[in-house]
Amino acid sequence: MKLKTDLYTVYGDLLLEKDTEVSAAVVRKIRQKGEKHKQVRVALKNTDIFADFQKVFDDKRYINMFKGPVSKSEICNIAGKLRMENDLIFELSYMKNNLPYTYDHVLIVTAFSIKLALTFRPEDYDMEVVSHCGFTHDIGKTRIFIGILNKTSKLTREERSVIETHPVIGYLLLNYYLKSDRRDCTLANLEHHERLDGSGYPNRIKRIHKYTQLISPIDVMDALMTRRSYRTKAFSLRAALDYLIKQADMNRFDKNTILTLISFARKDKPDIRKMYISEEPREALPEELTHDKYR
């Protein structure tokens, strides 16, 4: 894959020129550049991002889903303990100012990723990695021309291919910003639009890292449930979950992850092994203006 524009760090230093083929050697070079760059890690709980994160739990769309065995304080405790690279704090502040709906989205994705990891087998996950992946998975979007992200009509093939560079851009930025002990955190960036049947992008892979598998279904759920310029209105929670279960039936997502999200949405939080899922579509989907379900 080639980038469609020059790639700069948040400080304006050129990392990669437009049209350079992104190869393993290029990634290595970027890592080497990053090693020389001085890094300070900051406890997230001492930042404005953490104050914003705590407000996620008041989002009316998700109030019921956040109720249940895993509490807000457990989730906040984990997110607050994350020590994040100072550069990434700047990246997220930049996102907050320039792409506020993406910023709100990454906070929601992080909160649900932690909740999913705690609901599955917490011992299988490094919670710092889960939080880090959630907060940073869409930083590449800040380098995509806003006119394309907000376009109300159907994207051209060229515009679609520009949007599809954002996982690679995020991956390159993280390879620059992160030390080698945080390499696991780069994969959710690269893979969060990949699907288990190989139908995703950018690399159409089928083996997807366990941290990415927490993030990608929530990523879609929240994208569907947010008002966008190219849809008449947002999906309801039920319609979004119907969409996800169909995707799981097509082997695009891990079915147990989707069933767990559905159990979060039910009042009685049933055990997923005993949960009944109706085949009937429960709610009409909102009218689509462009046939883009999400961007």
The H-or-E segment that residue 84 falls in is strand 83-85
By beta-carbon proximity to Fe ion, the closer residue of 136 and 263 is 136
By beta-carbon proximity to Fe ion, the closer residue of 82 and 108 is 108
Amino acid residing at 165: T
Tell the residue number behind the tokens 């767990």, with chain if given: 260
What's the closest the beta carbon of residue 189 comes to Fe ion, in angstroms?
8
Helix residue ranges, H only, the chain: 24-36, 48-55, 63-66, 72-81, 86-98, 100-119, 127-136, 146-149, 157-163, 166-177, 184-191, 210-224, 237-249, 255-265
- Crossing angle (nearest 10°) for helices 166-177 and 24-36: 40
What's the closest the beta carbon of residue 223 comes to Fe ion, in angstroms?
7
By beta-carbon proximity to Fe ion, the closer residue of 155 and 269 is 155
Cβ 289 vs Cβ 232: under 8 Å: yes
How far, in Å, CA of 192 to CA of 90, rounded?
A: 22
Which residues contact Fe ion (rule: CB under 5 A)? 138, 219
By beta-carbon proximity to Fe ion, the closer residue of 87 and 138 is 138
What's the closest the beta carbon of residue 36 comes to Fe ion, in angstroms?
29
By beta-carbon proximity to Fe ion, the closer residue of 159 and 219 is 219
User: What tokens were used for 113?
Assistant: 């990723």
Question: Where does residue 268 fall: left (phi above 0), alpha (psi -120 to 50 degrees), or beta otherwise?
Answer: alpha
How far, in Å, CA of 220 to CA of 75, rounded?
A: 21
Q: Are strands 41-43 and 83-85 parallel, antiparallel or unpaired?
A: antiparallel
By beta-carbon proximity to Fe ion, the closer residue of 66 and 103 is 103
